[in-house]
Structure 1
Amino acid sequence: MRQFKLTYIILILFTVVIAFISDIASKSLPEIIIIFSGLKFLLVAFYFMEMKSAHILWKGIIFGFIIIFSILVLILK
């Protein structure tokens, strides 16, 4: 239960950091926002969707998805 609370607090902190970062105008900000969003996605997938106990194939699919999606978003921005 403690690990879920810690993960929840980290997700809230990432959300607050992204909100503050989005107020600043800079060219490198989309990359930082995508990185934080990807980390949030992985935290939710592994701790709240119980992917940490899933088969290695599913873990690979999750990591592959977030990497490909992040690269596509950064290329098409």
Structure 2
Amino acid sequence: MADDLTRRFVARQLQLTIDELKRDAERLASAARQYADDLAVGRHGSAHRIAQDAAALALTERRLAGMREIASLLGEDDS
């Protein structure tokens, strides 16, 4: 029972992190589009915003990689 709960917990955490990664990627894409639009009309864009969004995306991706490692360790017990 505890093994099943652990696997379900890890699977849910993975899904939540994947969803967060998607939101961060969409936010980065939106900031990049806005930056490009600003530059196209001669305004100074906010490269700082893009850098912040890219850093958030990278952090979430690192967390996801760690969680996937944990999930793979749990999967090895099934062998």
TM-score by length of 1: 0.54
Q: Is 1:18 paired with 2:26? A: no
CA distance in structure 2 between the partners assigned to 1:8 and 1:48 by the alignment: 11
Higher gyration radius (CA): 2
Show the counterpart of 1:32: 56
Deviation of 1:29 (Å): 1.2
- Percent of residue pairs bearing the same amino acid type: 6
Q: Which runs of 5+ in 1 are unaligned?
A: 51-77
Measured on the aligned residues, the alpha-carbon RMSD in Å equals: 1.5
Return the structure number with greater relative CO, CA threshold 8 A, min gap 6: 2
Q: Which moved more, 1:20-29 or 1:32-41?
A: 20-29
Deviation of 1:36 (Å): 1.0
CA distance in structure 2 between the partners assigned to 1:42 and 1:3 by the alignment: 16
